[in-house]
């Protein structure tokens, strides 16, 4: 069985850092997972022709918005809920760029040229830049990747020079969609450099036990956070050893009466072990 890429337990994300890349429209999504140890390794795994958009706002983050009417219920006297409308939606991503570079100006002002002295020449008629976009939200060893085959980028609001804050240039990316849909977003997954070690269970201290008794599972990679399953039922009072070779758990009480044959499995963020045969003894 191949090691899983995606988290199976606690798939939550606190995006402590993040990166935005753009490329010519239609550029394929890079292979996942990405090496998120630092910007250098991330650039290498994202690859050409993706280019970092630079620094973005820490305080304002990246905001996803949708525009369009809400669904409306239509009906008749005989059936008040006969139909529900499905109005179109336009999805956008708000970026607040903090780098004052020629590329940032082009995205904000919708094109433009460079003067002989290196200054940026603001165009008379702005035109949105159509590009592919990649957003990588990073939380330690885990990350989420958003991919958009085509977005239209142009300035969204005015720029304020505030002496007490970094100056930002707000840019709105309108999602245009691609061949397979509007875009793609991954579940929470480990970075490429993380060694994925699923748990294994090689033995049980008992093959049959009553609900409420304690049994011990022996194996490898039995580290917290961990869940022990007795079929569809979750064991309670789970404790592990520092070495990750044993986990002790209380046998749950099933809804069914009588003896119940189940498979005991251990599940961690790295996956699930193979099952071990076990009987929940309810004959007493």
Q: What is the pLDDT of residues 224-254, one digit of tens each?
A: 999 999 999 999 999 999 999 999 999 999 9
* Residue 133 tokens, joined: 């976009």
- Strand pairing of 260-268 and 271-272? antiparallel
Q: Which pTM was predicted?
A: 0.83
pLDDT band for position 41 (50/70/90)?
A: very high
Q: How many H-runs (helices) and E-runs (strands) does the chain carry?
A: 2, 23
Cα separation of the two ends of the chain? 39
Residue 185, number of CB atoms within 10 A of its CB? 12
Per-residue pLDDT, 1: 39
Q: What is the pLDDT of residues 139-156, one digit of tens each?
A: 999 999 999 999 999 999
Q: Answer yes or no: are the C-beta atoms of 173 and 148 closer than 8 Å.
A: yes
* Residue 46 tokens, joined: 């994202």
Cα dihedral across residues 175, 177, 181, 187: positive or negative: negative
- Strand pairing of 142-155 and 129-139? antiparallel
CA atoms within 13 A on the CB side of 248: 6
Q: What is the pLDDT of residues 260-279, one digit of tens each?
A: 999 999 999 888 999 999 99
Residue 154 pairs in a beta bridge with 172
User: What's phi and psi for 279, nearest 5 deg?
Assistant: -120, 125
Which residue has 């002002």 as its token pair?
109
Ordered structural domains, the chain, with CATH: 17-190 (4.10.410), 200-280 (2.60.40.10)
Residue 63, number of CB atoms within 10 A of its CB? 13
Residue 69, number of CB atoms within 10 A of its CB? 9
């Amino acid at each position: 069985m191949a090691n899983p890429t995606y988290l199976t337990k606690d798939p939550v994300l606190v995006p402590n850092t993040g990166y935005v890349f753009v490329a010519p429209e239609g550029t394929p999504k890079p292979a996942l997972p990405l090496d998120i140890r630092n910007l250098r390794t991330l650039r290498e795994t994202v690859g050409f022709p993706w280019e970092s958009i630079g620094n973005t706002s820490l305080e304002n983050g990246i905001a996803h918005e949708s525009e369009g009417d809400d669904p409306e219920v239509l009906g008749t006297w005989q059936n008040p809920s006969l139909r529900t409308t499905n109005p179109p939606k336009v999805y956008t991503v708000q970026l607040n760029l903090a780098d004052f570079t020629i590329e940032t100006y082009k995205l904000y002002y919708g094109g433009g040229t460079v003067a002989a002295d290196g200054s940026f020449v603001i165009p008379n008629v702005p035109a949105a830049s159509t590009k592919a976009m990649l957003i990588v939200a990073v939380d330690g060893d885990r990350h989420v990747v958003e991919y958009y085959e085509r977005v239209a980028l142009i300035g969204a609001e005015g720029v304020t020079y505030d002496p007490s804050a970094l100056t930002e240039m707000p840019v709105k990316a309108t999602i245009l969609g691609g061949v397979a849909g509007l875009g793609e977003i991954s579940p929470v997954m480990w970075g490429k450099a993380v060694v994925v070690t699923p748990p294994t269970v090689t033995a049980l201290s008992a093959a049959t036990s009553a609900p409420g008794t304690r049994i011990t599972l022996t194996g490898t990679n039995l580290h917290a956070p961990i869940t022990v399953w007795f079929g569809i039922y979750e064991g309670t009072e789970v404790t592990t050893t520092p070495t990750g070779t044993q986990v002790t758990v209380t046998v749950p009480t099933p809804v069914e009466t009588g003896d119940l044959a189940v498979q005991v499995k251990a599940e961690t963020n790295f996956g699930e072990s193979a099952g071990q045969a076990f009987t929940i003894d309810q004959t007493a």
